[in-house]
Amino acid sequence: MTTRFCIIRHGETDWNTEKRLQGHVDISLNAMGEAQARSVRPGLAGQVFAAAYSSDLERAWRTAEIATEGLDIAVLPAPTFRERHYGVYQGLTPAEALARHPDVHRHHTARSLDYDYETGESLLRFAARVMDGFAELAARHRGENVLVFTHGGVLDIIYRAAVGQDLEAPRDFSIPNAALNWLECRNGDWSLISWADTSHLDRALDEVAE
């Protein structure tokens, strides 16, 4: 039995425009982010979702509230789909991180699997959290469509699972704000249906990859 997911990264924030890594820091949407969330609605119209879930961080939760208006579906909090905790890297741009924490920046750009940013979450632990969360939803909603609002790091993990790309490999795919990403899970195996659909948006910034 197949479960289909529409997974949406939150709308734009001021920190996105500054290329600051947000992690668990609870940043709100800016005006563009709220407009992007409103623009998501037509892309969801006509779809039937059994359930909607969102990270409990404000930028994702607010995106979910705006985007699902009129869908007659309650959004349920799902802390499992929070962004990765980036420890001492949070709140910094890549240039600031390189200047202040060169070793941290080196591990970040290398995608070191076991590194936890001194006070954060390792890539392996983060990936396990994300994939366990999606596996639980796939089992709970067999044969149904599920809507998830989340973050760039979470989408990075699920994309790699769907295409068989190693966690350590440099990212070679885009993760725009408020894009529509459709995937399916059949008996534990993930595959892409469509990715990074931004046809409904005037502007969508990519996830910070450096």
- Which two three-digit tokens encode residue 23? 């992690």
Active site residue 83: yes
> Which residue among the candidates 12, 18, 83, 96 is catalytic per the annotation?
83
Note if 207 is an active site residue: no
Residues 6+ apart with CB under 8 A from 140: none
Helix (H/G/I), strand (E/B), else coil: 35: helix
- Between CA 150 and CA 131 the distance in angstroms is 13
d(CA 34, CA 28): 10
Whether the CB-CB separation of 80 and 130 falls below 8 Å is answered with yes
**Catalytic residue ranges:** 10, 83
